[in-house]
Amino acid sequence: MNNKIIIAIVAGVVVVGGAIFAVSQRPSGTPAATPSPAPNTQNAQAAATITYSANGFSPATTTIKSGQSVTFKNTSSSEVQVDSDPHPIHTDNEDLNVGTIAPGQSKTVVLTKKGAFGLHNHLNPGNTAHITIQ
């Protein structure tokens, strides 16, 4: 008689404990556990990549279509700060004010404003590149 009660209690603890464990293992909130991208950036394959190395930006000119994205990749050993021309006010195309990118890192931006724009490394304004957005 007592054994049956003890077995029932143990079984109940196991079932309840198992249920709590199962619930705790479930990801909370929405199933989309991927980190949300920063504003104006996307994880999709970029239409073009502009690399910043010790020699500056490469390629010097890039052409994409409006709505496509461009990845800026810093392969140099120093920080780069990508900004729209003109230096230092950066007002031609504010989508190109990508900001600082640490060595070895990259940032991707979606560009929508059509036209031909210059950009530069704000920390070394002689390093420039051009991008045409059709």
3-state DSSP assignment of residue 12: helix
Q: In the complex with Cu ion, which residue's Cβ is closer, 27 or 88?
A: 88
Cβ distance to Cu ion smaller for residue 67 or 99? 99
Helix (H, G, I), strand (E, B) or coil at 29: coil
Per-residue interface string for the shown chain with Cu ion, residues 16-55, x marking contact by CB under 5 A: ----------------------------------------
| CA 131/CA 134 separation, integer angstroms | 10
Answer for the pair 93, 21: CB distance below 8 angstroms, yes or no: no
For tokens 């059509």, the residue is 114
Closer CB to Cu ion, 73 or 122, in the complex: 122
Give the nearest distance from C-beta 84 to Cu ion in angstroms. Answer: 8
Site string for Cu ion, 73-102 (x = CB under 5 A): ----------x---xx--------------
CB-based contact 120:100 (threshold 8 Å):
no
Closest CB 105 distance from Cu ion, rounded Å = 19
On whether the CB atoms of residues 56 and 121 are closer than 8 A, the answer is yes
Q: Which residues contribute to the site for Cu ion (CB under 5 A)?
A: 83, 87-88, 122
